[in-house]
Amino acid sequence: MNQAFKLAAMAAAAALLSGCATFSNDGGFGAVAQATRSRSGAETRLLRNDDDRRALDEQLKKLLAEPISADAAVQIALLNNRSLQARYWDLGIAEAELVQAGRLANPGFSFKRTHGGGDVAIERTLSMNFIQLLTLPLASRIEAQRFEQVKLELAGEAVSMAHQARLAWIEAVAAQQGIEYAQQISDAADASGELARRMQAAGNWSKYDAAKEEAFHADTMADVARARKAATASREKLTRILGLSGAEATSYRLPERLPELPASPRKVDDAEATAMRDRLDVQAARLSTQHTASSLGLTKTTRFINVLELSGISEREGERRSRGYEISVEVPLFDWGGARVAHAEATYMQSVNLLAAAAVNARSEARESYLDYQASYELARHYRDVVIPLRQKISEETLLRYNGMLLSVFELLADAREQTAAVNNYIAALKEYWIADANLDAAIGGKGVQQ
């Protein structure tokens, strides 16, 4: 073997030994699943084949057999939401690019044979991209960083999906519960209106007063219609997030009421620091900046030499043989690479500022969410411990006076409406609390990481 072919073969062998990348057993999904589980408290899986889908169907049957809790809604969304499953395959794309970056391009071989004047000329050339061999380790490191960044991004999307599922569940249960109390107010108004019509027919009630009772009843009927409309919209939103269709979409059940308010609010020590440490979007932005910096380094490395090929040549013209090698290099006559370096530096500075913006936003959202959580808890507790007991006391006193013939039946029915309205306001405050609780988890980096 001539000298040039030996040189090319040695370069190729070195590349194969130093940069032969292979696919991982789980495609990197184990890290995504672990990060999601630690922050949402639920499991997620990548559905790779029909067997995985059948196993999920069996799991869904068990989860849907009972009224869906908030945690069950999160679990179903993380397993069954098709948009999330589609995004998970970005991990396979990123790993394929990582493996490809660790492999040298195939060498080229050319064979040329010419004849004329009784002579035969044969030319054989073996060529390979030599600059790729030089930059192979750095390119592999860059793609490895990109692979890690995709893992963080996908884990962040999974945690975001868990947050969306929890919020949708809260809205759906609260809307369903709101129908019940809207109907109670409407029933009380109906009874009051019927009594007013009878008293008017007996001449004991004016048309003006009877019309007011009927108008109130008409308004409460509209409120019931609005409550049903809101319940339908919120349930369908939850259905989409859960990825349910067919019979499952219409047959699943929800609890009748939201969970009760905890005895005391939870404490989060230094919400800002927790967010900076645990939020996946901040980690992804930090890794993106590192990835951009590495890319800038690679651009500077290849600023002047963009295409470098090493070729081994063997020629024969008749009985005369000649051997040697050829190196082709791009001459920086017109393009010295300055524009590429400026582009990379601008991209890097953009990435740095995006990281700073992510940090500022994370800190602000952590502060806002924690303050909103505390205020929401105090509001719900005020309704539970002050407003509702007062309304119950007023109802008891109203009933005593009605039994003593000191109040009319209309005043008794009006009190029942006011008491039901107070309960409805408590439900709204309770919903705001649970939404604030879920938002706090999202703002500090997940349910499983708060102090």
pLDDT digit string (tens) for 221-241? 888 899 999 999 999 999 999
The per-residue pLDDT for 417 is 74
Reported as type and span, the H/E element at residue 367 is: helix 338-382
pLDDT band at 197 (very low <50, low <70, confident <90, very high): confident
Rounded to whole angstroms, how far apart are CA atoms 197 and 215?
12
Helices 271-278 and 409-444: crossing angle, nearest 10°?
A: 50
The reported pLDDT for the residue numbered 337 is 64
Q: For residues 417 and 213, what is the distance between their CA atoms, to the nearest angstrom?
A: 12
How far, in Å, CA of 227 to CA of 221, rounded? Answer: 10
pLDDT score recorded for residue 182: 84
CA distance 442 to 307: 48
Query: Encoding tokens for residue 60?
Result: 């869904």
Which parts of 128-206 fold into alpha helices (H)?
Answer: 130-201
In this predicted structure, the answer to whether residue 325 has a pLDDT above a threshold of 80 is no
Tokens standing for residue 211 = 């019309």
* Mean per-residue pLDDT of the chain: 80
Distance CA 303, CA 444 (A): 42
Contact assessment for residue 4 and residue 311, using Cβ atoms and an 8 Å cutoff: yes
| pTM score of the predicted model | 0.77
- pLDDT-derived band at 249, boundaries 50, 70, 90: very high
**Which of the given ranges, 108-122, 143-157, 236-250, 295-309, has the highest pLDDT on average?**
236-250
Among candidates 176, 181, 157, 162, which has minimal Cα distance to 236? Answer: 176
* Of 93-107, 239-253, 280-294, highest mean pLDDT: 239-253
Mean pLDDT to the nearest integer, 290-310: 57
CB proximity list for 366: less than 8 A, separation 6 or greater = 271, 272, 274, 275, 443, 444
Residue 102 vs residue 62, higher pLDDT: 62
Rounded Cα distance between 228 and 234, Å, is 10
- DSSP symbol at 384: I
pLDDT tens digits along 131-182: 666 667 767 777 777 888 888 889 999 999 999 999 999 999 999 998 988 8
pLDDT of residue 378: 96
CATH fold, domain 3-444, is: Outer membrane efflux proteins (OEP) (1.20.1600)
Measured CA to CA, the distance from residue 368 to residue 271 in angstroms comes to: 10
